């Protein structure tokens, strides 16, 4: 019969009774957890995470108004968020991607476009030096290469500003019931996503920049899009969640405490 074991990090495990009296390693935090005692008697049951949370003093509640003031959302986004909330739903956190970080990182992609423009310019110079641009086809080739060069330069110069525009049109929120995402598609169409606790059960954090003001992602899941082509089915994978947010560990803890853990506790108790 499986033996339930709860680690101090709130990980809930079930192990076989053949491990009674031994120790196991928590797969989440690496701590060593006893399973019973040496004589085979069951240890005192560990308090459930929900009991521990109930016994611990509750942190001071932050008002929704204060959350919005600290979120960085513009007035239009605040109104949209408040209009989405249900009567018994309270706002816990709201925020946006870090524009400056996204803008500066996008220049790395722009460098690739600029390098492509340099390569094409070198090809144009070699073509002209070898007299290959003297006839009609040569002139057309030079015009085509010139157009490609302008395309690379335009893409390189515009890419960081496009990414910053996407960041400005994106907003995130966590409530007592769900996680919310407002964003834009690559073609600029407005999108909205609402994710219940069950949708967040397997979410994870990716740290991008550490330090006194860390930046990272909270990945909720991966959406797979299948498109039929003449070569067969082509699958496109798209991750969704909170991207490039400040202090992701704090937001992760908030989601776990208020949304994910209560659902897991209920499943564990059942």
More confident residue, 16 or 58: 16
Q: Judge if 121 and 213 occupy the same domain.
A: no
> pLDDT tens digits for 201-243?
889 999 999 888 999 999 999 988 888 888 888 888 889 999 9
Q: Judge if 190 and 80 occupy the same domain.
A: yes
Q: Which of 246, 227, 225 is nearest to 99 (CA)?
A: 246
The crossing angle, in degrees rounded to 10, of helices 136-168 and 99-129 is 180
Q: Judge if 230 and 142 occupy the same domain.
A: no
CA gyration radius, the chain: 27
E strand residue ranges, the chain: 3-6, 12-15, 22-25, 32-35, 91-95, 171-175, 179-184, 190-195, 204-209, 215-229, 232-246
Residue 24 within any structural domain of the chain: yes
CA–chain centroid gap for 199, Å, is: 14
Domain region containing 75: 64-97+170-269
Q: Are 164 and 170 contacting, i.e. CB atoms less than 8 angstroms apart?
A: no
Q: Judge if 36 and 116 occupy the same domain.
A: no
> pLDDT tens digits for 146-194?
999 999 999 999 999 999 999 999 999 999 999 999 999 888 899 999 9
Which of 109, 144, 166 delimits the end of a domain? 166
Residue 57 within any structural domain of the chain: no
Mean pLDDT, all residues of the chain:
84
Q: Judge if 76 and 119 occupy the same domain.
A: no
pLDDT of residue 33: 75
Residue 158 within any structural domain of the chain: yes
> pLDDT tens digits for 106-153?
999 999 999 999 999 999 999 888 877 678 888 898 899 999 999 999
Q: What is the dihedral of CA 250, 253, 259, 262, to 10 degrees?
A: -160
pTM over 0.85: no
Q: Judge if 233 and 247 occupy the same domain.
A: yes
């Amino acid at each position: 019969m499986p033996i339930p074991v709860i680690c101090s990090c709130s990980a809930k495990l079930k192990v076989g009774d053949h491990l009674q009296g031994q120790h196991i390693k928590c797969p989440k935090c690496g701590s060593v957890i006893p399973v019973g005692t040496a004589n085979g008697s069951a240890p005192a049951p560990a308090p459930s995470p929900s009991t521990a949370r109930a016994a611990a003093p509750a942190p001071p509640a932050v008002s929704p108004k204060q959350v919005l003031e600290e979120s960085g959302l513009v007035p239009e986004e605040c109104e949209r968020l408040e209009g989405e909330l249900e009567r018994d739903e309270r706002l816990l956190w709201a925020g946006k991607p870090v524009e400056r970080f996204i803008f500066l990182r996008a220049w790395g992609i722009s460098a690739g476009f600029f390098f492509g423009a340099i390569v094409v310019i070198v090809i144009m110079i070699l073509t002209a030096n070898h007299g290959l641009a003297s006839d009609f086809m040569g002139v057309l080739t030079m015009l085509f290469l010139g157009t490609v060069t302008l395309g690379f330069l335009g893409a390189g110069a515009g890419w960081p500003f496009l990414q910053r525009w996407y960041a400005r049109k994106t907003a995130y929120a966590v409530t007592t019931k769900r996680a919310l995402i407002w964003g834009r598609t690559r073609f600029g169409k407005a999108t909205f996503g609402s994710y219940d606790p069950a949708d967040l059960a397997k979410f994870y954090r990716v740290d991008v920049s550490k330090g006194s003001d860390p930046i990272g992602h909270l990945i909720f899941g991966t959406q797979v899009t299948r498109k039929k082509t003449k070569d067969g089915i082509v699958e496109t994978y798209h991750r969704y969640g909170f991207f490039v947010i400040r202090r992701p560990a704090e937001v992760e803890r908030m989601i776990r405490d208020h949304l994910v853990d209560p659902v897991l506790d209920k499943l564990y108790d059942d």
